[in-house]
Structure 1
């Protein structure tokens, strides 16, 4: 049982983090309430959950209690607490490290026993201590930063700027300008550094996956709403929360046809991504709006009624509704529709894996259709634009696909080796036979011919 839990309340403080006696933890409650000021709502919720879970572990672990390590203690205490957590709970290897600027760090190397990724926890704790310092509730330096790291980074940056001025007679231009063709040097003040935990997408290249999921949903009892939402995921490769946040204005962009606009990761509500769906998905969505959604709409509006409304009003009308007339929540869909439907058919698939499936299928398609290197690069660029990535993720997918194809590559190598081995044995036998025939006497050869050997 967790030592702390999060409660949603009304008033100035929308969240309370309370212990098992129902008493609030001041610093955790404060962070839960102010985190949305520094991060998006989804990121804030994820960070708060990470920090509260870590605080619960800290408050209940016997070794932590015996050592008197405090969540809000001095940086040395917090770092010792985290190092113990990584080694004992996460089964990681924690080793001494040194940054290129000279300050001391700790290198964290996950092992095969590490049950989950650690980037979010480290980012959440950095945000937690940084927010408390701004509010005056933590009176030390941020323990997630190495001692003296910020000062050394600033000194190094000043040194680089001074060297540039001495060489060119002016300060450096922004990297976006393209004037100074110098790679931007990235510095990190982090005390804990993850190693050997590079993220790779999951490769799913089964063309029948969409049909399997839709069949599982149909057998379980999905309505047109779930069918439409799932088809949007498979047609576009968008994230689940992006699909759930679609509004009627996003679809009216194409007059309720084959194109939608949506939010993107980090777009803060701005519609920066274009989604393209198939004719069949269009028909499913149109039927959903006219036959099912209309029953839960506050004004019983269908597509014809929405087409007459101004775009400003359509921006506040969600495409996917619950029976209460509220927007469909991603967690609600995942928990109450996606997981039970797929589990009943024996499918183990997360919603986000559909995105990896879409990119893998798109890459396979462009590599098959492209007739030249130029056409291939243009098609890959189109995929980047279609996915609206802020950074180029295609090299990461290429690496994942190569790893995924290693068993097939090994199989072809083994087949080739077996063929070469068989050919070599046959050649050796023929050579031995010819050599044996050459050593036979004339009388032996005549005798074999007479006996038909």
Structure 2
């Protein structure tokens, strides 16, 4: 199977695959997620399922950072301290063997939630009841009810429960694809030139730490088709407008009655000289 197919090793605790590409007509095609309200649907689902602050923070970080769930769940206090910005953390990447080779950036609201969690909910569960300042660098940010490091399996139970209650068929990895689609849309909207578009795409590739830079092409293909649809729709709307105008003109012409001018005698008309002499001879 080609790497673009998004194949993965099976995980016994997870029924839904993280694969993003589907084989359609002998071609691997991405299943684009482009619903701007998707994160908020998930947050509301979490509230209905009585998520704790921990689950809500992880969900928010999934959509805000584009990271894999494991890259967030396994964060340590040292990962947070390693970055100069309070909105960033260092983390590992798939295939980096635990080395912290990239960073994640999230919103100020998530920062408030994270600091509140560390110094309240997590502090109560910590064996030593330590807050952020006392915790060592290797201490996990997210812990279980027993104060042990949170695992993907333990966290996924809460995610899956919320999705089932609210009848949402969405595995966590789809948040990563939603993030890329949303970022690309923003790039196309704010860039003024092709050079700016390419520069921002390169920055996104570096942020996502994609080994194969062709990965972004499948997203670009989606936007190319979308741009064609928008342009085509404008052309069709223009054609419909012209058709309405054409039909309106024809209808107006049919309603117009011919204007007849009463002529008293032939002298009121201008004729060719030879024809005029002929008419004069008939009088």
Normalised TM-score (structure 2): 0.75
User: Whose relative contact order is higher, 1 or 2, with alpha carbons under 8 Å and at least 6 apart?
Assistant: 2
The residue number in structure 2 matching 1:416 is: 238
The residue number in structure 1 matching 2:268 is: none
Change (3 A) 1:413 1:44: closer
Residue 333 of structure 1, CA deviation: 2.1
Task: Provide the alpha-carbon RMSD of the alignment.
Answer: 3.2
Structure 1: runs of 5 or more not aligned = 1-42, 50-114, 121-192, 444-453
The residue number in structure 2 matching 1:374 is: 195
Distance 1:409 1:245 in 2: 45
**Equivalent residue of 1:293, what SS?**
helix
Distance 1:371 1:116 in 2: 35
Residue 369 of structure 1, CA deviation: 1.7
Distance 2:18 2:147 in 1: 36
The residue number in structure 1 matching 2:118 is: 289
From 42, 56, 60, give the equivalent of 1:231. 60
The residue number in structure 2 matching 1:264 is: 93
Alpha-carbon deviations, 1:155-213, whole Å to 9, x = none? xxxxxxxxxxxxxxxxxxxxxxxxxxxxxxxxxxxxxx99724131423241x332332
Distance 2:18 2:103 in 1: 32
Residue 432 of structure 1, CA deviation: 4.6
Change (3 A) 1:271 1:405: same
| Greater CA drift, 209-218 or 270-279 | 209-218
Residue 371 of structure 1, CA deviation: 2.2
Residue 277 of structure 1, CA deviation: 1.6
Q: Work out whether residues 142 and 150 of structure 2, in 8 Å CA contact, stay in contact via their aligned partners in 1.
A: yes
Q: Work out whether residues 238 and 355 of structure 1, in 8 Å CA contact, stay in contact via their aligned partners in 2.
A: yes
From 188, 198, 201, give the equivalent of 2:28. 198
Alpha-carbon deviations, 1:136-169, whole Å to 9, x = none? xxxxxxxxxxxxxxxxxxxxxxxxxxxxxxxxxx
Distance 2:208 2:146 in 1: 32
Task: Report how many aligned residue pairs link the two structures.
Answer: 250
Distance 1:371 1:410 in 2: 22
Q: Work out whether residues 229 and 243 of structure 1, in 8 Å CA contact, stay in contact via their aligned partners in 2.
A: yes
The residue number in structure 1 matching 2:267 is: none
1:383 counterpart = 2:212 = no
Distance 1:367 1:45 in 2: 35
Distance 1:403 1:292 in 2: 47
Correspondence 1:206-225 to 2 at 5 A: 206=36, 208-225=37-54
Distance 1:420 1:194 in 2: 38
Distance 2:181 2:132 in 1: 34
Normalised TM-score (structure 1): 0.49
Structure 2: runs of 5 or more not aligned = 1-6, 263-283
The residue number in structure 1 matching 2:280 is: none
Correspondence 1:133-148 to 2 at 5 A: none
Residue 116 of structure 1, CA deviation: 11
| Greater CA drift, 362-371 or 237-246 | 362-371
Residue 328 of structure 1, CA deviation: 2.1
The residue number in structure 2 matching 1:299 is: 128
The residue number in structure 2 matching 1:399 is: 221
Distance 1:116 1:285 in 2: 26
**Equivalent residue of 1:246, what SS?**
coil
Residue 219 of structure 1, CA deviation: 3.0
Residue 265 of structure 1, CA deviation: 1.6
Alpha-carbon deviations, 1:104-156, whole Å to 9, x = none? xxxxxxxxxxx997x99xxxxxxxxxxxxxxxxxxxxxxxxxxxxxxxxxxxx
Alpha-carbon deviations, 1:297-337, whole Å to 9, x = none? 2322210102xx4xxxx23x222111133332223322x21
Change (3 A) 1:368 1:282: same
1:280 counterpart = 2:244 = no
Q: Work out whether residues 201 and 397 of structure 1, in 8 Å CA contact, stay in contact via their aligned partners in 2.
A: no
Quick check: which has more Rg, 1 or 2? 2
The residue number in structure 2 matching 1:46 is: 10
**Equivalent residue of 1:360, what SS?**
helix
Q: Work out whether residues 8 and 18 of structure 2, in 8 Å CA contact, stay in contact via their aligned partners in 1.
A: no
Change (3 A) 1:410 1:343: farther
**Equivalent residue of 2:130, what SS?**
coil
Distance 2:145 2:186 in 1: 39
